[in-house]
């Protein structure tokens, strides 16, 4: 009786482990990527700045409204309008 119970518990633990690994291997279908839009055509130059280390990032194509993360913190957005 012990061996039968141990086999069932082992199969249960293995099924949970394989299910977890299978879930991690699948791409997330709930988050749909947005279409990237070129930002330089608008006349504004969008840069992001990291307060921690001073890294600056020039944004050429915009995919989401969320700022990128660097050093574990969200970067600060700076928008400069080009003057003609």
When pLDDT is cut at 50, 70 and 90, the band that residue 83 belongs to is low
* pLDDT of amino acid 43: 65
User: Is the predicted pLDDT of residue 46 greater than 60, yes or no?
Assistant: yes
Cβ atoms of residues 68 and 75 within 8 Å: yes
The number of domains in the chain is: 1
**Which residue matches tokens 């003057």?**
83
User: Is the predicted pLDDT of residue 18 greater than 70, yes or no?
Assistant: yes
Structural domain of 26: 2-81
DSSP state, residue 33: P
pTM above 0.85, yes or no: no
* pLDDT of amino acid 23: 83
When pLDDT is cut at 50, 70 and 90, the band that residue 69 belongs to is confident
Q: How far is CA 72 from the centre of its chain?
A: 12
User: Is the predicted pLDDT of residue 32 greater than 90, yes or no?
Assistant: no
């Amino acid at each position: 009786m012990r061996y039968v119970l141990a086999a069932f518990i082992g199969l249960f633990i293995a099924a949970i482990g394989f299910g977890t690994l299978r879930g991690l291997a699948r791409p997330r279908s709930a988050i749909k990527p947005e279409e990237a839009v070129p930002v330089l055509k608008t006349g504004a130059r969008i840069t992001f700045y990291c307060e921690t280390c001073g890294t600056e990032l020039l944004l050429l194509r915009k995919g989401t409204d969320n700022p990128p993360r660097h050093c574990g913190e969200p970067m600060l957005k700076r928008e400069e309008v080009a003057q003609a």
